[in-house]
């Protein structure tokens, strides 16, 4: 790698007058501001790979549920996790370096700081969602990787969780904890094989999936080819990835969760199952309309978490495996009823700040850690020792043998690297089929407290500082006391204010015993921010 090569390549991607920050999910903003950022993220990925002794690092170009004009970029660490947070600051610094020379200087500064050897060949794989801006950003990335001699591999349009899967597979290939075949075919085959086993002699009718006109559409169509058609019919809708302006528009998990209503394109049949993915297919929510009043009912991340935790808990119980800890990790947005329901089942719950990396980390504390954000992002993690026990347990009865077989397949069905809408879809379908539950029966586990999410424009969101997993404000001084005083006036009420990690706004959440109370509380708390 020569100084000339880096500087010459960097020249093609001048930094706009803008300050960048590696946020909750990487860099995310209007796509036209991103070429220099993506180029520099490519340099960071190379360093990260060399720092990790040449293990493969992933770079995903996506802005998830954001509008079509946005894009974003984030790094994936060797085991398929999000980039270690201490490195986010290096990404931020590199993205903000004023000119090409400063980029090179900071790059060599990091090399020295970490004593990164030049003898190691860095390896990076990358992919993108289906946005119009993605190919040009992929080119910026490629130019950076080439300039510093990275051995790279392009995977084209992939879902975010697919890239996480591929990174982990590549880094574990040939070891005793190999995760799977490091190809997209390997991904589809791993999930579908487990699904087809779990659905043997079972049929679950049909589910209609709104793909937000994003990369989840083609991926789901491909996945479906591998599924036993007698077990499930997946009706794929909103899968137009050619009309760029349709991405996440009037569709997708974020639309359904935020508006708490059907996508306009969906005419729902009573008690039929519907699901919506987001633009990069790492989030999923379910919903249905009831038979009596055709009212819309959302089955969000909290409902998926409780479904998964209780199903896995039952399987463990029936398998004869003992001393097996199952915990559920949530954020402040988790509906109060869901937390109460989980605790009533005798399972521990933990609350972490928003953002997958926090939940993921907390979930590692259990043999089986189920984590979901209410917005539908989540997965289930099995610890290495839990996997070992599941795969070596000697059943003492046919019932135990069946439970063990199911558990083994569940661990294969779930994408344990990160929340994966396709894997979660199959997991929910399996559980509903095993329980013979229609969506209303699933929904009846507990009744959500009515809630409202608002956002407020403020002069400086950084003036808002939180504690207690974002459930309380420490700054601005005195504001939390005012919120508490309002909350005290309503039944079963809860409210919190937190600065967004992805937008320049402050979010206000309120829940209470009735719809009127929840709405009123949200408005009054929001009014405190003016």
- Which residues are designated catalytic? 64
Number of C-beta neighbours around residue 265 at 10 A: 11
H/E element holding 496? Answer: strand 494-499
- Cα distance between residue 316 and residue 406, in whole Å: 10
Q: Say whether 530 counts as a known binding-site residue.
A: no
Based on the shown chain and the rule CB under 6 A, indicate whether residue 452 belongs to the binding site for ligand 16G. no
Based on the shown chain and the rule CB under 6 A, indicate whether residue 395 belongs to the binding site for ligand 16G. no
Based on the shown chain and the rule CB under 5 A, indicate whether residue 480 belongs to the binding site for Zn ion. no
Strand, coil or helix: 43:
helix
Strand, coil or helix: 408:
helix
Q: Is 157 exposed, middle or buried (0-12, 13-18, 19+ CB in 10 A)?
A: buried
Q: Are strands 472-475 and 494-499 parallel, antiparallel or unpaired?
A: unpaired
Is-contact 490 523, C-beta < 8 A?
no
Look up residue 260 and give its DSSP letter.
Answer: T
Q: Which stretch binds ligand 16G (CB under 6 A): 137-145, 271-279, 371-379, 385-393?
A: 371-379
Based on the shown chain and the rule CB under 6 A, indicate whether residue 501 belongs to the binding site for ligand 16G. yes
Look up residue 73 and give its DSSP letter.
Answer: E
Q: Which of 129, 278, 300, 367 binds Zn ion (CB under 5 A)?
A: 278
**Which ranges constitute the DSSP H helices of 347-503?**
356-363, 384-392, 398-413, 421-435, 439-443, 479-487
Based on the shown chain and the rule CB under 5 A, indicate whether residue 128 belongs to the binding site for Zn ion. no
Shortest Å distance, C-beta 502 to ligand 16G: 4
Residues of span 9-28 touching Zn ion by CB under 5 A: none
507 binds, among Zn ion, ligand 16G, none (CB under 5 to 8 A by kind): ligand 16G
- Cα distance between residue 274 and residue 266, in whole Å: 9
| Residue linked to tokens 């574990």 | 172
Residues of span 54-83 touching ligand 16G by CB under 6 A: 64
Binding mask 456-495 for ligand 16G (x = CB under 6 A): ----------------------------------------
Based on the shown chain and the rule CB under 5 A, indicate whether residue 354 belongs to the binding site for Zn ion. no
H/E element holding 21? Answer: none
Q: Say whether 507 counts as a known binding-site residue.
A: yes
Based on the shown chain and the rule CB under 6 A, indicate whether residue 451 belongs to the binding site for ligand 16G. no
- Cα distance between residue 528 and residue 523, in whole Å: 9
503 binds, among Zn ion, ligand 16G, none (CB under 5 to 8 A by kind): ligand 16G
Q: Which of 24, 36, 49, 64 binds Zn ion (CB under 5 A)?
A: 64
Shortest Å distance, C-beta 291 to ligand 16G: 32
Based on the shown chain and the rule CB under 5 A, indicate whether residue 417 belongs to the binding site for Zn ion. no
Q: Say whether 40 counts as a known binding-site residue.
A: no
Shortest Å distance, C-beta 385 to ligand 16G: 27
Q: Say whether 481 counts as a known binding-site residue.
A: no
Q: Say whether 99 counts as a known binding-site residue.
A: no
Based on the shown chain and the rule CB under 5 A, indicate whether residue 70 belongs to the binding site for Zn ion. no
Look up residue 491 and give its DSSP letter.
Answer: T
Q: Say whether 501 counts as a known binding-site residue.
A: yes
- Cα distance between residue 512 and residue 491, in whole Å: 6
Based on the shown chain and the rule CB under 5 A, indicate whether residue 424 belongs to the binding site for Zn ion. no
Both tokens of 526, joined, read 């929001």
Based on the shown chain and the rule CB under 6 A, indicate whether residue 162 belongs to the binding site for ligand 16G. no
- Cα distance between residue 374 and residue 330, in whole Å: 8
Q: Which stretch binds ligand 16G (CB under 6 A): 122-130, 254-262, 313-321, 350-358?
A: 350-358
280 binds, among Zn ion, ligand 16G, none (CB under 5 to 8 A by kind): Zn ion
Is-contact 286 439, C-beta < 8 A?
yes
Q: Hey, which residues does 330 pair with through a beta bridge?
A: 351
Which residues are near ligand 16G by CB under 6 A? Answer: 24-25, 64, 354-356, 373, 375, 377, 500-503, 507
């Amino acid at each position: 790698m020569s100084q000339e090569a880096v500087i010459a390549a960097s020249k093609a991607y001048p930094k706009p007058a803008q300050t960048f920050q590696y946020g909750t999910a990487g860099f995310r903003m209007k796509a036209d501001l991103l070429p220099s950022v993506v180029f520099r993220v490519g340099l960071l990925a190379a360093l990260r790979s060399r720092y990790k002794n040449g293990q493969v690092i992933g770079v995903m170009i996506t802005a998830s549920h954001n509008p079509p004009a946005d894009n974003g970029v984030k790094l994936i660490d060797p085991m398929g996790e999000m980039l270690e947070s201490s490195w986010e600051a290096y990404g931020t610094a590199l993205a903000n370096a004023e000119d090409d020379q400063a980029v090179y200087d900071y790059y060599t500064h990091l090399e020295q700081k970490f004593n990164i050897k030049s003898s190691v060949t860095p390896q990076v794989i990358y992919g993108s969602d289906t946005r119009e801006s993605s190919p040009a950003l992929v080119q910026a990335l490629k130019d950076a990787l080439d300039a510093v001699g990275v051995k790279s591999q392009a995977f084209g349009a992939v879902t975010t969780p697919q890239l996480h899967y591929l990174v982990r597979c590549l880094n574990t290939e040939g070891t005793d904890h190999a995760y799977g075949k490091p190809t997209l075919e390997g991904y589809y085959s791993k999930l579908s094989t487990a699904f087809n086993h779990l659905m043997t002699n079972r049929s679950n009718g049909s589910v209609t999936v709104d793909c937000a006109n994003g990369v989840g559409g083609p991926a789901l169509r491909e996945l479906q080819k591998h599924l036993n058609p007698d077990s499930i019919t997946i009706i794929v809708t909103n899968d137009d990835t050619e009309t760029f302006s349709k991405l996440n528009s009037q569709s997708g998990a974020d639309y359904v969760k935020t508006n708490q209503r059907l996508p306009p394109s969906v005419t729902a049949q009573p008690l039929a199952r519907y699901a919506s993915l987001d633009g990069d297919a790492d989030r999923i929510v379910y919903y249905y309309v009831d038979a009596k009043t055709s009212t819309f009912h959302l089955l969000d991340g909290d409902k998926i978490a409780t479904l998964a935790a209780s199903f896995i808990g039952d399987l463990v119980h029936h398998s004869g495996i003992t001393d097996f800890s199952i915990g559920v990790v949530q954020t402040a947005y988790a509906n109060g009823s869901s937390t109460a329901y989980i605790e009533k089942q005798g399972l521990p719950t933990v609350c972490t700040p928003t953002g997958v990396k926090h939940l993921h980390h907390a979930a590692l504390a259990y043999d089986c850690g189920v984590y979901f954000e209410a917005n539908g992002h989540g997965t289930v993690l099995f610890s290495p020792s839990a996997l070992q026990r599941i795969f070596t347990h000697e059943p003492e009865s046919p019932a135990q043998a069946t439970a063990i077989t199911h558990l083994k397949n569940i661990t294969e069905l779930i994408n344990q690297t990160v929340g994966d809408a396709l894997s979660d879809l199959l997991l929910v379908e399996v559980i509903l089929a095993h329980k013979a539950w229609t969506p209303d029966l699933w929904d009846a586990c507990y009744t959500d407290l009515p809630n409202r999410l608002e956002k407020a424009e403020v002069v400086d969101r950084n003036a808002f500082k939180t504690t207690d997993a974002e459930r309380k404000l420490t700054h601005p001084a005195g504001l939390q006391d005012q919120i508490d005083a309002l909350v005290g006036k309503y039944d079963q009420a809860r409210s919190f204010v937190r600065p967004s990690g992805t937008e320049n706004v402050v979010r206000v959440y309120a829940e209470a015993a009735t719809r009127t109370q929840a709405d009123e509380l949200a408005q009054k708390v929001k009014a405190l921010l003016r």
